[in-house]
Structure 1
């Protein structure tokens, strides 16, 4: 019964929390991209971010309540707890948008390449954009910062997530370095996903070619067998007596 209630809760909040994460993205990004934003709008964005925090907190506490083994739930959902408790991890609430990417992924057809393309493109774009926002927020105001604009932050995020790392832009603050560490791990994970998916596709393709070749061979053998049988029948008819 508890398991059924938990599943119903997860189904009910899946899209509302995804929408909340989208609202959080807008409210989080606007003041960062427009430092001269009117104070009233800044307050509005702040209210939206706190409202989304409240929704995520309610979701976490409800899921905790619906679990039988709550200690195990806490251990397995440390990231969710950290997102709720630690303000520095606010951008991680946007991971909920991966739900939307997963939905798009289900509509990408049965093609493995299509599913991988949707997932990787969506996840990479989201990670780069969020990391750029987070690092410019962390670096802005530091006199030694060399990531001064969102363009700089976007360039840094792209070179970091692809593990290129030119070194022309880098964070100097502690918060910025935490963002960099997370982005590096995300980049490695995305490369691993692409590599594994590509390897799977190649193996499937080779297996498909082999199966097609075997099928063609069986058809040829069957055709030759039919011809030999027909020749035997013809020879038998031509024999005298």
Structure 2
């Protein structure tokens, strides 16, 4: 029994060490990309560091994918991790920040830091119980991957491709960027169907959550008002009984006289 507890404790310590190490590497990679984009420091050294961390995160992703018991759930929950190892542009490293969110959630850091307030509970309910985080991850993945393929087939920059993907998925469609090749039009068609569908689900999820919260607040207010009214009625009844008792005492004293 003691040996099992010791093994469980060591496993937990290794897991915490792994998460802390990944968190530090995530912050380091984001810092290097930020420095590269801002033109700070040695560009060559930063590129070497970014590419080295890219390999580390790619290996980590593949190992976790192989070891996970449910690959379908893993691919949905780790969509940002997959985007974070795309070698097309260093800016994709910012998607690795999703690991920080999972680290905070897995180890219940808000609760441990006594920050588990009403706001954090509402945030958790919105992000996970409604499935918003999964819909958001899939939507972002579709937009980014479509932009990536569009940039390759249409010979466009990543910035222009992302702009095209956003305007297409949100049905804005300014028309300043359009596909000219057959493969580019296929990508656009897939994005129109998949992207618009998931963005519609996102919108309905947000509106449904807001409506549900509004109903909960209204119901809570009604219950509070009813409780206050019942309390007031109880006090009035008690006061009435005391007045009746006092009146009876007065009448009895008059009879004695």
Please give the alpha-carbon distance, in whole angstroms, between the structure 2 residues aligned to 1:25 and 1:193: 33
Within the alignment, does 1:96 sit opposite 2:108 as a pair? Answer: no
Q: What are the ranges of 5 or more consecutive residues in structure 2 without an aligned counterpart?
A: 1-6
Cα root mean square deviation, aligned: 5.3
Instruction: Find the residue that maps to 1:111 and give its secondary structure.
Output: helix
Partner of 2:3: none
Partner of 1:165: 172
TM-score when normalising by structure 2: 0.55
Instruction: Find the residue that maps to 1:11 and give its secondary structure.
Output: helix
Partner of 1:53: 54
Please give the alpha-carbon distance, in whole angstroms, between the structure 1 residues aligned to 2:215 and 2:101: 26
Q: What are the ranges of 5 or more consecutive residues in structure 1 without an aligned counterpart?
A: none
How far is the alpha carbon of 1:233 from its aligned partner? 1.0
TM-score when normalising by structure 1: 0.58
- Show CA shifts across 1:133-187 (max 9, x none): 98389438937x6xx794x6565455456x3433524552757938946755663
Query: What count of residue pairs does the alignment treat as equivalent?
Result: 217
Instruction: Find the residue that maps to 1:166 and give its secondary structure.
Output: coil
Partner of 1:202: 214
Specify which of 205, 213, 225 is matched with residue 213 of structure 1.
Answer: 225
Please give the alpha-carbon distance, in whole angstroms, between the structure 1 residues aligned to 2:47 and 2:196: 29
Partner of 2:16: 8
Instruction: Find the residue that maps to 1:72 and give its secondary structure.
Output: coil
Q: Hey, which bits of structure 1, 4+ residues long, moved more than 6 A?
A: 88-92
Determine which structure has more spread, i.e. the larger CA radius of gyration: 2
Specify which of 69, 72, 75 is matched with residue 72 of structure 1.
Answer: 69
Please give the alpha-carbon distance, in whole angstroms, between the structure 2 residues aligned to 1:24 and 1:184: 34
Seen in structure 2, the aligned counterparts of structure 1 residues 25 and 110 have a Cα distance that, compared at 3 Å, is farther
